[in-house]
Chain A
């Protein structure tokens, strides 16, 4: 049982390049999330999805796009990377917000550097 798997683990981009971060979960969770984690800022929500085919904006959505074509996958895209997007990106999944025994399950992150 892999849980939440993120690829790639590391990536270096030049300003203006694009890329897609992949997230897959095998727990049949309805909700999936993308967070970024920066020193002193904690985890900040970028986008989330409450089910297949749905997406919604979080706290810091600018410069990112997402897609949830299949229940088990949630993709995060950067169309034109900027140095301010240098961060560690975490994908998470859960049964639903506030449901009993429904914590967030996190992947191990993607460390992205934009030069």
Chain B
């Protein structure tokens, strides 16, 4: 069964405390993986697309990486404005979404 699992479900960090979010997937015919950010009361906002193992993408304090079984979203020296839910979605014959990691960054 194609599925995507994200961990942890929730993460609290002190401002400046770096960490990583995990997205593991079992999707046949994987064509890529997306990362999204979702703020309360808003729709998911696109962050990155990764297409092949070994690929990395960066945007400000965020860096996404991809292996054959999982993807990581690394957050370096986070700030309170990075607080949000982060979703990943694997692309097979459809989009398979994880349930997200709720990140809270405490000043």
- A residues whose Cβ falls under 8 Å from a Cβ of B: 4, 40-45, 58, 90, 92, 97-98, 100-101, 103-109
Contact = CB atoms under 8 A, between A and B. Distances in A.
Contacts, number: 50
Nearest to B44: A106
B32 A43 contact: no
Contacts of A58: 94
Interface residues of B, number: 22
A109 B42 contact: yes
B12 interface: no
Contacts of A43: 44, 87, 89, 97
B96 to A, nearest CB: 9
Contacts of A101: 49
Nearest to B42: A108
Contacts of B98: 42
Contacts of A105: 46
A43 B43 CA distance: 11
Contacts of B34: 103-104
